[in-house]
Amino acid sequence: MSTPDRPDLSARLAPEPQAQARARAYAAPEASISEIRPHLFIGNIYSSYRREALEPNHITAILSILDARHALWSSQRVRRLVPEENHLYVPCLDNSTMNLLPFMARVCDFIDKHATAGADSNVLVHCQAGVSRSAAVVVAYLMRRDGMALDDAIEAVRERRRVRPNANFMDQLRVWEAVGYQIWQDEQGAVPKDAYRAFLDKRAALLESMGLTGDEPIGMPGL
């Protein structure tokens, strides 16, 4: 019962109809995608298979930096826009021990190939949230392509998207800068440069303290 001082709140506090509540609970998460520079985008996992993210931005290549493959990448609607040969998956955890540096040259080559392939070629780099792993890779690419200092490269990305590579990836970007975008002294990839060797020693000590080897499997076979 309501009074002038105490209005009846029952209508406002009534539960949602069951169908409406169920629809709200299962509402699809939003795809988030940002253009960092012409032909280069960062996004979250949903942007890698949602048509409303891929099609308007004319995405023709995808670099997935993630702990598992997603089944929807193989769907017809995705492969019609991004052929399998234009999709590179790099298994990667967003944690304190993941080493991305051995992949950096390859992923930078992939980004450059597709970002410079022509006016109609655009590459999406994504991880789970589009904040840490994918941002670290795009920063590394800008550093190598344009000779940018780390601070300048990350600031350039942050002007277009809110990103925050984790402390481990920031350490690796400092190594990437110190070694001049090449972590090995030799062509065979057997002798690390000093900055990379120091990083490997630090990582090995951390892994040992955690009871890990660094060879543990990454994520799940697929989502």
* Upper half-sphere CA count for residue 29 (Cβ side, 13 Å): 11
DSSP secondary structure letters along 141-160: HHHHHH---HHHHHHHHHTT
CA angle 216, 219, 222 (to 5 degrees): 135
CA distances from 36 to 43, 59, 136, 155, 198 (A): 10, 13, 13, 11, 32
The rounded distance, in Å, linking the Cα atoms of 131 and 87 is 20
Q: How far is CA 176 from the centre of its chain?
A: 18
Q: Annotated active-site positions, please?
A: 127
